[in-house]
Amino acid sequence: HLRLLRAVRFAARLSFVVEPVTAAAIRDLAPKIQRISAERIRDELTRILLDSPRAGDALILLDKFGLLEILLPEVAAMRGQEQPAEFHPEGDVYQHTLLLLNMMQTKTLRLVWAALLHDVGKPGTAQLIEGRIRFYRHAETGAEIARKILSRLRFPHDDIDAISHMVANHMCF
């Protein structure tokens, strides 16, 4: 079942279009990805993020094939979370994250995971105050969520600490 993720990695890395019958099979088998060890899923997701010239497009494939909701439901929850248009004309939190991942030119394991998770706290902290969407403490909340995701995927403690720190401080200049 790890081949489900490998199909995404190869398609994203080599700009393949996955043949419709294969895509349908991946969608049908997506729930079985949970049979794979967390470490192997972690490694394959990391390779997807690092090896894809446009990691945001790889995330779209994970979503299209039903794998994102299963493996990273906290990231899938960013879909549809509106942001103030004056600061984020690109759209919702998910679109913002896709653009960031696609624009990355320098990638390291910690940096791509921090980029992926930097706004994961926004859906849970969104408030409409005086006609404007606010996300008070989204960075701190996001760091806690990132820590849970990374622990679930069995990242080494040093990586968890570093990535969570980046998420917690991504609003600091």
Q: In the predicted model, what is the mean pLDDT of residues 39-66? A: 97
Query: What pLDDT does residue 163 have?
Result: 98
Q: In the predicted model, what is the mean pLDDT of residues 131-135? A: 84
Closest CA to 81 of 141, 31, 23: 141
Cα–Cα distance for residue pair 63/65, rounded to 1 Å: 5
pLDDT winner (highest mean) among 37-46, 88-97, 135-144: 37-46
Q: In the predicted model, what is the mean pLDDT of residues 111-127? A: 93
Amino acid at site 64? K
Per-residue pLDDT reduced to its tens digit, 19-32: 999 999 999 999 99
pTM score above 0.85: yes
Query: What pLDDT does residue 103 have?
Result: 96
Burial of 10 (0-12, 13-18, 19+ CB in 10 A): middle
What does R_g of the chain's alpha carbons equal in angstroms? 16
Given a cut of 80, is residue 106 above it in pLDDT? yes
The answer to whether the CB of 135 falls within 8 A of the CB of 120 is no
Query: What pLDDT does residue 169 have?
Result: 94
Given a cut of 90, is residue 111 above it in pLDDT? yes
What is the pLDDT of the chain when averaged over all its residues? 94
24 or 130, which is more confident: 24
